[in-house]
Amino acid sequence: MITYEYIVWNGINDTKKDIDALVKFCKYVPCKVNIIEYNPIDDGEFQQAPKRAIADYVSVLEMNDIIVNVRRSRGKDIDAACGQLANKKS
């Protein structure tokens, strides 16, 4: 089974239209989706989606019989979360 790693960003892919597009995409091949919390490192363009958006993704994917897991971030407080390297100037 294919596993898709999917990040939901605030204001970029956090709408019902985006959720429906992912469901349509996932219907082609049996798969599961890991939704990954984005770890913002500054006030840039990419920001973590609200919890409501994540919950909407989970709800709609499950209603469409698509396996979904939310991978919660760890280490965010020290800029060491999964896939994140940050360099802070002192």
What tens digit of pLDDT does each residue of 23-42 get? 999 999 889 999 998 887 77
Range of the domain at 28: 2-78
Residue 9 forms part of a structural domain: yes
Query: What CATH number is attached to the domain comprising 44?
Result: 3.80.30.10
- Residue 42 is assigned to a structural domain of this protein: yes
- The answer to whether position 85 is within a domain reads no
User: Phi and psi (nearest 5°) for 18?
Assistant: -65, -40
Q: Are 67 and 24 in contact (CB under 8 A)?
A: no
* Residue 87 within any structural domain of the chain: no
Across 11-15, 35-39, 67-71, 80-84, least confident range = 80-84
pLDDT of 87 above 80:
no
Bridge partners (DSSP) of residue 36 are 7, 71
Structural domain count, the chain: 1
Would you say residue 20 lies in a domain?
yes
Q: What is the pLDDT of residue 41?
A: 72
Tell me if 89 is assigned to some domain: no
Asked whether residue 90 is assigned to any structural domain, the reply reads: no
The reported pTM is 0.79
Give the percent of the chain with pLDDT over 70.
80
